[in-house]
Amino acid sequence: MVRKAVPSSARSTANIRPILDSLDREAGVSSTDRVRSDSQIDVLAQDAWADIADALEAGSDNLPPELRAALARLRVVDQQLLQRLTMRTSTERLSSVVEALELLPCVTDDLITAAPRLICDLGFDRAIISRVENGLWTSEAVYIPDSAEWATEINKVGQEMPQKLGPDILETEIVRRREGLLVTDVQSDGRVNRPIADASKSRSYVAAPIISDGRVVGLLHADKYRQSIDVDADDCQLLIGFAQSFRLALGRAKLAEEVLSVKGTLDSMRSMLDYSTDTVHHVSVRRTSDDAQPAPAAEPGRSARPDRTAPASRVPLTQREHEVLALMARGSTNSAIARELVIAEGTVKQHVKHVLRKLQVANRSEAVAVWFNEFTPT
């Protein structure tokens, strides 16, 4: 009788299957228990390796070569599976966060406020969004779950002490190369933003650029301070992915705001036309060049209409009020005017109030009508 040769791999499988089955019975594992979440699988794998290490610690010098080789192969497979698991989890988180980003209102201010919170939803503990203008890096918003006071403190530091970018600052490389950044030794690295590093006590962080028209207009920063673990290159790629999606969201918001601005301008023009149509019924035979003659008296029983279209020389607007009125005529909102003139939004509101009072008008539309009638060349 000739015995057919059995491959060694088949013999190994045949020998180990009863052992694995008995281990399942000892652990009380059924076929339905084997379907677990990603996080459960990760925890089980780490616990299993810890138990194996403890069991083999005493007799590691006496391990058979075959067992040592098998454990080495198993460890390689485990690391590969863990890497794939981490990548899949990060991809799923990014997809979920991008969906949430797309559901936000198309308003730039709202997006800036929400960005750090969405970054924390990716698995980070803290996040900062900053703007980059004229070589200055200035914090815009900070989010720390369950620690609003600390977030406010860090943001205040970043706003009151904006960091000038230069060769001695790491973030300058982000602006120059338009690439992400991983910093692993924050507290001892002299090239970081020291005021923010001191306020945040960060140990390591990742940063990504917000790019518009080929230049960096903002920065995103994130870390895992509360988890007491360092961020890594995968975290950096994750933040870069969010930054790209966030840039698209900002683009949509800008487009929506420009549409509203055009609508505001059209509304102002319509108001101006309505006003002109109303005044066309009140005519006189006085020469328009004869400014010295007094205006005709009001009809009996009818109040005189305020002179809301006084010539520019008769309206004592300051230079700044002229600038604000011109931007109002373009349909700009108070926040947009503030960004354009680099002043606080509260200051813009005060200028608008002064303009309305000086022009003797009730609202922005009437003020814009005066602008088109008196302050623009015909």
* DSSP secondary structure letters along 212-253: ETTEEEEEEEEE-TTTT----HHHHHHHHHHHHHHHHHHHHH
Tell me if 135 sits within 8 A of 122, measured CB to CB.
no
Copy the structure tokens of residue 340: 């354009």
Count: domains in the chain: 2
Kindly give the interhelix angle for 233-279 and 108-121, rounded to the nearest 10 degrees.
160
> What is the predicted pLDDT for the residue at 340?
87
**Entry pTM:** 0.54
> What is the predicted pLDDT for the residue at 12?
46
Assigned domain for 373 exists:
yes
Q: How far apart are CA 14 and CA 20, in angstroms?
A: 11
Point out the domain boundary residue: 211, 237, 255: 255
**Are residues 144 and 234 located together in one domain of the fold?**
yes
Assigned domain for 126 exists:
yes
Q: What is the mean pLDDT of residues 59-63?
A: 65
> What is the predicted pLDDT for the residue at 299?
47
- The per-residue pLDDT for range 288-343, each reduced to its tens digit, is 555 444 444 444 444 444 343 444 445 678 889 888 998 988 888 888 898 888 88
- The per-residue pLDDT for range 66-78, each reduced to its tens digit, is 777 777 777 776 6
Enumerate residues 6+ apart whose C-beta is below 8 A from 268. Answer: 329, 331, 364, 365, 368, 369, 372
**Are residues 132 and 240 located together in one domain of the fold?**
yes
Domain of residue 373, residue span: 317-377
Assigned domain for 268 exists:
no
Mean pLDDT, the chain, as a whole number? 78
> What is the predicted pLDDT for the residue at 174?
95
- The per-residue pLDDT for range 331-377, each reduced to its tens digit, is 888 888 988 888 888 899 999 999 998 888 888 888 888 887 776 55
Assigned domain for 176 exists:
yes
Assigned domain for 284 exists:
no
The domain that contains 130 carries what CATH number? 3.30.450.40
Assigned domain for 357 exists:
yes
Enumerate residues 6+ apart whose C-beta is below 8 A from 297. Answer: 304
Higher pLDDT, 325 or 275: 325
Per DSSP, 301 falls in state T
- The per-residue pLDDT for range 78-95, each reduced to its tens digit, is 666 666 655 557 788 888
The end-to-end CA distance of the chain, in Å, is 113
> What is the predicted pLDDT for the residue at 313?
43
The 3-state DSSP class for residue 295 equals coil
Assigned domain for 36 exists:
no
> What is the predicted pLDDT for the residue at 129?
97
Share of the chain above pLDDT 90, in %: 38
The domain that contains 332 carries what CATH number? 1.10.10.10
Point out the domain boundary residue: 224, 255, 286: 255
User: Is the pLDDT score of 102 beyond 60?
Assistant: yes
Residue 111 falls in which region: left (phi positive, over 0), alpha (psi -120 to 50) or beta: alpha
User: Is the pLDDT score of 117 beyond 70?
Assistant: yes
User: Is the pLDDT score of 194 beyond 90?
Assistant: yes
Q: How far apart are CA 13 and CA 16, in angstroms?
A: 5
**Are residues 240 and 322 located together in one domain of the fold?**
no
Point out the domain boundary residue: 204, 236, 255: 255
Question: What is the rounded radius of gyration, in angstroms, for the C-alpha atoms of the chain?
Answer: 34
Assigned domain for 297 exists:
no
**Are residues 230 and 150 located together in one domain of the fold?**
yes
> What is the predicted pLDDT for the residue at 275?
57
**Are residues 117 and 228 located together in one domain of the fold?**
yes
- Between the alpha carbon of residue 175 and those of residues 12, 331, 339, 355, the distances in Å are 57, 32, 21, 40
